[in-house]
Amino acid sequence: MPIDVQWAVPERVEGLEALLEALLEAVCEACFSLEGVENCGMAVRIASPDEVRELNRTMRSIDSETDVLSFPTARFRPGTTARDNLKRLKREYDPFLGYVNLGDCVISLPRAKEQAEAYGHSLERELGYLCAHSALHLMGYDHMNPGDRARMRDMEERALRLASLSRTEDFPMTDQMLFDLACEAMLRAYAPYSKFQVGACLLTRDGRTFQGCNIENASYGATICAERAAISNALTAGANHFVAVAIAGSGAQSWPCGICRQVLNEFSDDMRVICGQYGHDFEVVKLAELLPRAFGPEQLKGGSDGE
Ligand code: THU
């Protein structure tokens, strides 16, 4: 298992371990996917304060308790992170494990509980945050100067957002985060015929997001585009008005097709369209630029009496 969560604490979180393990795996995977590294893994050890203190003393010559420790396998040149060192990372491939082990993260469970209480958020969110922080350290991120700190903080928040652990009141959805969610959805596309994967993510006024991916079919015409798959997911969940949509294409920037423009127009007042290629920058336009002089629900408001 590329993400190896170990419970090394006597106390148990009443049957929540499996849930927390899945969450921590999701957080690590989100960090890896945001960084663009493949076939990587790490160990996450939920430990006692004594173990964390002992590790801090023996490995770092710091004789004190702390919340999280990170032990990277690979060291990268200062100023670079894993994405700049993919070749270097390949050399760390472990044939016995079957993946590149990025290193170990050790979290003090009592410390995480205390901090969750102090910040007024859930234990899940705090463990997720500590885990993302550590996964990023393992990939070369640091917080020694303000620029590096901001970059690391941004990645932490993007990873927590992908794992649905974000504090939306503190960190409203940004275009970058919405595009990340579209990229994540893109990876789930079913596109064996065109090989062109598309992911979409809709945003509602109250901050809810709904993802979709393209779903192709052997009878080509039955294909569903990512945008309309996202619309189906949203309407099924009771959301029917959107302020933005992000779209990511695998091979190129994927502007919505004509049918999708028309369908998006049905459920928005001129939404923002955030569009880019996976792994590249995105552009932002208004839907009216893509569908000028649209025919929509407004036109039918007056009804037709047939005269
Ligand atoms: N596709 C979308 O998902 N959205 C669009 O707006 C344009 C096209 C998909 C459909 C098909 O699976 C593939 O891209 C190639 O046309």
| pLDDT of amino acid 306 | 47
**What is the pLDDT, as a whole number, of residue 81?**
96
- Boundaries of CATH 3.40.390.30 in the chain? 3-162
Q: State the DSSP H helix or E strand holding residue 283, giving kind and residue range, or none if neither.
A: strand 282-286
Please give the residue that has the higher pLDDT: either 146 or 32: 32
Percent of the chain at pLDDT above 70? 95
* pLDDT tens by residue, 221-253: 999 999 999 999 999 988 899 999 999 999 998
Kind plus residue range of the DSSP H or E element containing 55: helix 49-60
pLDDT band for 305, please (50, 70, 90 cuts): low
Highest mean pLDDT among 90-94, 120-124, 212-216: 212-216
- Taking the domain 3-162, which CATH number applies? 3.40.390.30
> How far, in Å, CA of 148 to CA of 139, rounded?
13
pLDDT value, residue 231: 98
Q: What tens digit of pLDDT does each residue of 102-153 get?
A: 999 999 999 999 999 999 988 889 999 999 999 999 999 999 888 788 889 9
Residue nearest to atom 4 of ligand 1 (CA): 225
- For position 149, what pLDDT does the model report? 87
CATH number 3.30.1340.30 given to 175-298: no
**How far apart, in Å, are the Cα atoms of 302 and each of 50, 93, 264?**
73, 66, 22
Tell me the C-alpha distance between 108 and 88, whole Å.
31
Q: State the virtual CA torsion across 21, 22, 28, 31 in degrees, nearest 10.
A: -150
Domain with CATH 3.40.140.10 in the chain: 175-298
pLDDT over 60 (residue 307): no
Ligand 1 pocket (Cβ < 6 Å) reads 191, 194, 196, 198, 214, 216, 223, 225-227, 254, 256-257, 260
Ligand 1 atom closest to Cα of residue 256? 6
Ligand 1 atom 9, closest CA:
225
* The pLDDT of residue 304 is above 70: no
CB of 186 within 8 A of CB of 229? Answer: no
